[in-house]
A and B are shown apart, each in its own frame.
Chain A
Amino acid sequence: MSDRTAAGPVFLDAGESALVVEFGRSVDPAISDRVLALDAALAAAPPEGLRELVPTYRSLMIHYDPLRLDRARLVDLVEERLAAPSAVPRAGALWTIPCCYAPPHGEDLAEMAALLGMPPESAADLHAAARYRIYMYGFSPGFTYLGGLPEPLAISRRARPRPPHDSKAVLVGGGLSAIASFAMPTGWYVVGRTPERLYAPERASAFLFEPGDSLRFEAIDPATFAALEARADAGEVVARQTPT
C-alpha cells in the first residue's frame, strides 16, 4: 500500500457516526505526528456535534453526531485545520517510569532472552536504555502502546496466549513494547512490571500520559518496587515527568 504521508489524508466512514481520517498505513512517527496534530487542532476548538477523538498509529477516529454535524462540513473542517499553520502536534512530555525486570516481576524475560539468544540481563538493559514513543492507548483502560523498541528485542508474539499476567505488566511482542493496566491473558512477553498505575479512576489524573509523549523505563529492584507500589496504591504518581 502506498504511503500517504505526503499526500492528503483519506476519509473513511466507520458507520454514519464516525469518520476515520487516515494518514498512512504503517507505524511511523511522522504519520503519528500528523494524526496528533489534527487531534490537537480539533480538540482546541471542537465543532458542535463532535463527540470523541481517538488517535491511533496512523489515523484519527472522529466520533460525531451526524444530525448535528454534517459529514461534508466535518470533512471541510478537517481539511481547513490541516491547512492551518497551527496544525502541529503539542510538545509531548518525557516520562520516566520505574520498572522491575527481576523475578518474580519479569516472569517471561528469561524465556524471551533465550529465544533472542542473549542473557536476560542484556535484554533488560536494552529495554531500559531505549526511549519510547507513546503512540496510542487501546485494548483496555490505560493500556499503552509504545514504539521505539530496540531492534534486537523484536520478537513475534506467541502463537498461543499465555495465562493471565498481573496488572501493570511491561510487555514486549510484535516489534513493540506496551504497558498493561489490567491482568489478562496475552500473546506478549512479560519482561517486567511497573509499580505505577496507568489507570486510577479515583486519582485526579485517572490517566497519566497523552499520545505523543515519550517514555523511558528506570530499572528498579524488587524492594524499591514494593515501596513504590505502596505509594502508588495510596494515590501518588510515582512516574516522573520532564518537560521536553
Chain B
Amino acid sequence: MTALRILSCGPGVTVQDGGRHGYLRYGVTVAGPMDALAHAVASRAVGNRQDGAALEVSLGGVELTAEDGPLTIAVAGGTFQTTLDDQPLPPVVVVTLEPGAKLRLRAGTAGMWCYLAVAGDLALPAVLGSRATHARTGMGGLDGRMLQAGDRIAVSPSAGAADSGAIVAPLLDRPADIIRVLPGPQQDYFADDQMAAFLAGPWRISPRGDRMACFLEGPVLRHAGGFNIPSDGVAMGAIQVPGEGQPIVLMADRQSTGGYPKIATVIGADLGRLAQARPGTEIAFRAVSHAQAVRALAEQRAFLDAPIPIEPLRRDRFSSEFLLGRNLVSGWIDARQPS
C-alpha cells in the first residue's frame, strides 16, 4: 500500500485533523491544528476535506518520502525551507512525491508551523471521532504520539489528485503585529486601567510556548478582585491572567476548562497568525466588536470555500537535468493536467 515514510523528524511533528469535537464536556482536549487556516489551505489544495488529517510540522522540521507509489502533497503554513531532492520549492506548494524522492521541510525565515497534506486519506484510526494527536493524553494520530524517524503511515491516495504548482494564498501572509481580540469573558476582573495596559502592551512572545499555550511577557496586569474563580469553559484563544500578571493565550492543546480570569479572547481569524509568531516577536492587541470578528472569520471561510488557486511552478527554479531525473516534468510543464 502507498505510504508516507518519515526519514528524519524533529520534535513536535504530529498528525492533526480539524480537532476532536463533541467531548469537551467530558474533559477531552480538542487539539487540531495550531494554524487552522494554513491546515485547511494545504488540505483543500490537494482536494481533501478542509478538516482532513495532515501532518503538522514544527520548527524541528521533517524529511519524508513516498513508498509503493507516488503521492501528491501540499505544503502550507509558515515560510519554511521546502526542498524536493535538495531543490528548493516555493513555501506554499503542491508537488508530486515519487517513491524514493526526498521532501524536506526545515525552519525558514518566518512562522512556527507548516502543514503537509497528502491527497487522499491517512490510514490512521480515529479516537473519539478524530485523528488529531493529543500527545499529553496519548490520543489520536500515530499511537497518540509525535512522529519519529522510521514511522510509516499508509495512505489511500485519491484519484485525480491536484495539479502541482505554487499555491496562491495571500491570506497566509500574515505578520503578527496586531492581534485582534474580543474583551472577556472575565474583563470585569480587571479595572479599566488594566484593560488599557493590556491593549497598549507591547507584548513579547516568550520561548516557553507549545501547542497548549502561548506565553506573553510585558506589563504586569493586576486583578481587581483576586484571581481565583471557579473553573469554567475555555475557548481557543482565551487569554488568561494568572496571579503573577503575565497573560497566557490558550491554544489547540488547551484543557477544556480553566480557573484563571480571562481578560480577552483572540478572534478566530487571528489565531493562526498568533500561532505562527516566533518567540521574541512583539505584538499588540486591538479590541474589536463581535460583528467585526465574525466578518473576519467569514472572509477566511469564503477563501476556503472557493477553489484554491494554484500557479504552475516557474521552471527557471530547476535545472532541466533535475526535472528529467525526477520525472517532475509532466507534473508541472502542464500543471493543469492531472499527473
**Interface residues, chain A, with chain B CB atoms under 8 Å away:** 1, 12-18, 20, 22, 25-27, 51-61, 63, 66-67, 71, 136-143, 145, 181-182, 199, 201, 206-207, 211
Within the complex, what minimum Cβ distance (angstroms) separates A213 from chain B?
A: 13
Query: In the complex where A13-B290, A16-B294, A17-B268 touch, is A57 in contact with B232 (Cβ < 8 A)?
Result: yes
Give Cα A14 to B233, complex, Å.
Answer: 9
Within the complex, what minimum Cβ distance (angstroms) separates B25 from chain A?
A: 5
CB neighbours (8 Å) of A211 from chain B are 25
Give Cα A13 to B234, complex, Å.
Answer: 11
CB neighbours (8 Å) of A17 from chain B are 235, 268, 297
In the complex, the chain B residue whose C-beta lies closest to that of A209 is B26
Whether B327 sits at the interface, judged by CB under 8 Å, is no
Give Cα A211 to B265, complex, Å.
Answer: 26
- Our pick among B128, B137, B232, B234 for the contact of A206 (Cβ within 8 Å) is B128
In the complex, the chain B residue whose C-beta lies closest to that of A12 is B185
Query: In the complex where A13-B185, A54-B256 touch, is A137 in contact with B293 (Cβ < 8 A)?
Result: no
Whether B309 sits at the interface, judged by CB under 8 Å, is no
Cross-chain contact A16 with B297 (CB below 8 angstroms): yes
Cross-chain contact A14 with B262 (CB below 8 angstroms): yes
Query: In the complex where A16-B182, A25-B229 touch, is A139 in contact with B255 (Cβ < 8 A)?
Result: yes
Whether B301 sits at the interface, judged by CB under 8 Å, is yes
Give Cα A52 to B130, complex, Å.
Answer: 15
Give Cα A181 to B26, complex, Å.
Answer: 11
In the complex, the chain A residue whose C-beta lies closest to that of B233 is A61
Cross-chain contact A58 with B137 (CB below 8 angstroms): no
Cross-chain contact B24 with A141 (CB below 8 angstroms): no
Cross-chain contact A18 with B235 (CB below 8 angstroms): yes
Give Cα A239 to B46, complex, Å.
Answer: 48
CB neighbours (8 Å) of A15 from chain B are 182, 235-238, 265-268, 293
Query: Could you list 10 examples of A-B contacts with CB < 8 Å?
Result: A12-B185, A14-B234, A14-B235, A14-B265, A16-B268, A16-B297, A54-B24, A59-B233, A61-B24, A67-B298
Whether B157 sits at the interface, judged by CB under 8 Å, is no
Query: In the complex where A57-B232, A138-B255, A201-B128 touch, is A13 in contact with B265 (Cβ < 8 A)?
Result: yes
Cross-chain contact B27 with A141 (CB below 8 angstroms): yes
Give Cα A207 to B27, complex, Å.
Answer: 10
* B interface residues, how many (CB within 8 angstroms): 45
1/0 per position for B25-68, CB-CB distance to A under 8 A? 11111000000000000000000000000000000000000000
In the complex, the chain A residue whose C-beta lies closest to that of B301 is A67
CB neighbours (8 Å) of B23 from chain A are 141, 206-207
Cross-chain contact A61 with B232 (CB below 8 angstroms): yes
Within the complex, what minimum Cβ distance (angstroms) separates B2 from chain A?
A: 28
Query: In the complex where A1-B225, A61-B233, A66-B294 touch, is A52 in contact with B24 (Cβ < 8 A)?
Result: yes
Query: In the complex where A16-B182, A51-B21 touch, is A137 in contact with B27 (Cβ < 8 A)?
Result: yes
CB neighbours (8 Å) of B29 from chain A are 140-141
In the complex, the chain A residue whose C-beta lies closest to that of B186 is A12
Query: In the complex where A18-B235, A20-B233, A26-B230 touch, is A52 in contact with B25 (Cβ < 8 A)?
Result: yes
- Beyond A13-B185, A14-B185, A201-B128, 17 additional pairs, beta carbon < 8 A: A14-B265, A15-B238, A16-B268, A17-B268, A18-B265, A25-B229, A27-B230, A52-B22, A53-B25, A54-B24, A56-B231, A63-B235, A138-B231, A140-B136, A142-B27, A145-B231, A201-B139
CB neighbours (8 Å) of A55 from chain B are 25
Whether B206 sits at the interface, judged by CB under 8 Å, is no
- Our pick among B26, B229, B233, B298 for the contact of A18 (Cβ within 8 Å) is B233
Q: Which 10 A-B pairs have the closest CB atoms?
A: A61-B233, A138-B257, A16-B293, A12-B185, A15-B265, A137-B27, A18-B235, A14-B235, A57-B230, A54-B233
Whether B218 sits at the interface, judged by CB under 8 Å, is no
CB neighbours (8 Å) of A14 from chain B are 184-185, 233-235, 238, 262, 265
CB neighbours (8 Å) of A145 from chain B are 231
Whether B127 sits at the interface, judged by CB under 8 Å, is yes
Cross-chain contact B256 with A139 (CB below 8 angstroms): yes
Give Cα A25 to B226, complex, Å.
Answer: 13
